[in-house]
Amino acid sequence: MENKIVTFGEIMLRLATPDYLRFCQANQYNATFGGGEANVAISLANFGMNVEFVTRLPQNDIAKTCVMELKKYGVGTQHILYGGERMGIYFLETGAVARASKVIYDRSHSAISEIQPGSIDWESILKDATWFHWTGITPAISANAAACCLEAIKAANKLGVTVSCDLNYRKNLWKYGKTASEIMPALTEGCDIILGNEEDAEKVFGIKPEGFDAAKSNGDIDAAKFEYVCQQLMQRFPKAKKVIITLRGSINANHNTWGGILYDGKHLFQSRNYDITHIVDRVGGGDSFMGGLIFGLHKYAGNDQRALDFAVAASCLKHTIYGDFNMVTVEEVEKLMAGDASGRVSR
């Protein structure tokens, strides 16, 4: 059976200021689309995998354009639900050097935030799937979106479908009276693969490495410190077979270090550390890692080190690509994994 992967979440219209302009300077915006689970789906489709993206969109021309964009990359859209009044929007001001990037969300009352529990037939969608992916952004949108996400996870568990999540804590989204630490445990309990960045586990579950402060790391992150975080997450969520942490060291807005670790309950695997000196666009970096990881765990089954290395290399390349989507090929990622970071013209 061909591996079929299903992702579920919100895709938004992305309006970004051009040329590092601040919001107050911009009189035009670059319009693209983006959203955590859609970004993962596009990565996987680019790697040649069979992937379906599930969401809820309104019936209007902007949503139609968005669906056309998904189809352009080979993402399945047949299970998208239609209804509601609007798509969510996010505005992006891209930072430079010491000035951080800034995101403003305009997604209240979006179509997916008003989705009704029970409106998606998850057993039918997942019956021939091998993998289901969600992120912590979806349950942050609304109580209803959280309920639908939990329905999907329970259906996947019942059908024996592997479930992965990216904890993806977004403090600006949890606005409906519940906190991430109240909602996320019930969803994370159903996961086989858990991904987080160096701060997610602390912000959502209160689990943090001793003596680590991301703001003061200056790009120097000791991966071994995060083994404790992985162990604690596995202890709390015993269904999890692998816990992965992405390690971003932020020297400034244009210069980051990037790596990751994977823990399988016995061994800690560590990637090489990439020095990304001229970031084009870091939005979607974690999603491109997740897409690379899911692909790597399929392609290099049984070789967790290789899967981790693929994920880190894929997301390293994403930092060179404008927009949310990681438009790279397997060959490009494997070339970087093999050590070719020269950027020489391919003729």
Q: Where are the domains of the chain?
A: 4-335
Handedness of CA 331, 192, 197, 76 (dihedral sign): positive
Provide the percentage of residues in the chain whose pLDDT is more than 70.
95
Instruction: Give yes or no for a contact between 3 and 129, defined as CB atoms under 8 angstroms apart.
Output: no
Between CA 324 and CA 201 the distance in angstroms is 23
* Domain topology for 4-335: UDP-N-acetylmuramoyl-L-alanine:D-glutamate ligase (3.40.1190)
pLDDT value, residue 1: 44
Question: pLDDT tens-digit profile of 131-190?
Answer: 999 999 999 999 999 999 999 999 999 999 999 999 999 998 999 999 999 999 999 999
144 vs 164: CA distance, rounded Å: 20
- pLDDT grade for 343, boundaries at 50, 70 and 90: low
Euclidean distance between CA atoms 221 and 198, whole angstroms: 9
Is residue 346 scored above 90 in pLDDT?
A: no
Alpha carbon of 168 to those of 98, 125, 207, 215, 272: distances in Å? Answer: 24, 24, 15, 18, 23
Please, which residues have CB within 8 angstroms of residue 179's CB and are 6 or more apart in sequence? Answer: none
- What is the model's pLDDT at position 59? 97
pLDDT digits (tens, 9 = 90+) for 45-66: 999 999 999 999 999 999 999 9
Residue with tokens 């950027």: 343
pLDDT of residue 76: 98
pLDDT in tens, 17-39: 999 999 999 999 999 999 999 99
**For all residues of the chain together, what is the average pLDDT?**
93
Q: Look at 66-75, 113-122, 279-288 and tell me which has the smallest mean pLDDT.
A: 279-288
Q: Which two three-digit tokens encode residue 3?
A: 């591996």
Query: Over 70: is that where the pLDDT of 201 sits?
Result: yes
Q: How much is the pLDDT for 8?
A: 98
pLDDT, one tens digit per residue, over 234-267 is: 999 999 999 999 999 889 999 999 999 999 999 9
- Residue 213: per-residue pLDDT: 67
* Res. 339 pLDDT band, cuts 50 70 90: confident
CA 247 to chain centre: 14
Which pLDDT does position 301 carry in this prediction? Answer: 93
Given a cut of 80, is residue 2 above it in pLDDT? no
